[in-house]
Structure 1
Amino acid sequence: MRLTYLLPILLFGFSAIAQGGRFGEKREQIKALKVAFITEELKLTPTEAEKFWPVFNAFEAKQTELRQDKMRSFLKRLDEATIDKMSEKEAASFLSQMESTEDEMYQNQKKFVANLKGILPAVKILKLKKAEEDFNRKLLRQYREKFKK
């Protein structure tokens, strides 16, 4: 029954994303679609959902912060001219900073899974991983189709 309602929402949402719009609006649409997709895939009980979503949202916010604030700033500074002008010591320091951020992202992921173990059964945690991958694949496919036209 839920699938009957969810499927049109997902299809409408993916087509709305493909049609364009502002970046912030798209991000919010994608987030809403992801929430709907994960909810349907995991078949969360009301009790599970109440505990799951705050943990999930905090994890996503932290990962986004790390990706945007740190990793993106590293990559912006890494053009070929900059790399060629770096001393070995500067490059080693830069590499160390990047590794530290990647480690922070990994530790955040481990903490997230540990927190989920108190909320969801292991099977649903695995389903979450699969649902996120499936959602990202769908989104990428939709994006590619948009630019084929």
Structure 2
Amino acid sequence: MASLSLAPVNIFRSGADEEKAETARLSSFVGAIAIGDLVKSTLGPKGMDKILLSSGRDGSVTVTNDGATILKAIGVDNPAAKVLVDMSKVQDDEVGDGTTSVTVLAAELLREAELLIAKKLHPQIIISGWRKATQAAREALKAAAVDHG
């Protein structure tokens, strides 16, 4: 009977790193929260501009306080941070406004989730709480709505 050799197969691209368990979770939190912090200072009437320097041949400079523009200009490797960037793009495509607000809101929810997980709260419990809070917010908005028609 011939012996079968089971050599490990590399499924990662060259130079890729593998993170496990708590390290991967913390890395995701840090990346997503950093994206929120990046655009948070652009919010509101006293929002600050960011200077974006293109890494291309022309080295163009853009000054903006638009969250969508900032997030389109940066390169993101962190998977959780990419989700926030993609969420901002969808908000821009669907609504055309509120890109910074949704990014900051999501990042702040993740910041609080990180604290709860550090206190050993299971992620599914956190998600359940978010769903209940969403339902309560919907009901409060419906109750406060006034029909002017």
TM-score, normalised via structure 2 length:
0.34
Q: Which has the higher contact order (CA 8 A, sep 6+)?
A: 1
Structure (1 or 2) with the larger CA radius of gyration: 2
- As a proportion of its length, which structure holds more helix? 1
- As a proportion of its length, which structure holds more strand? 2
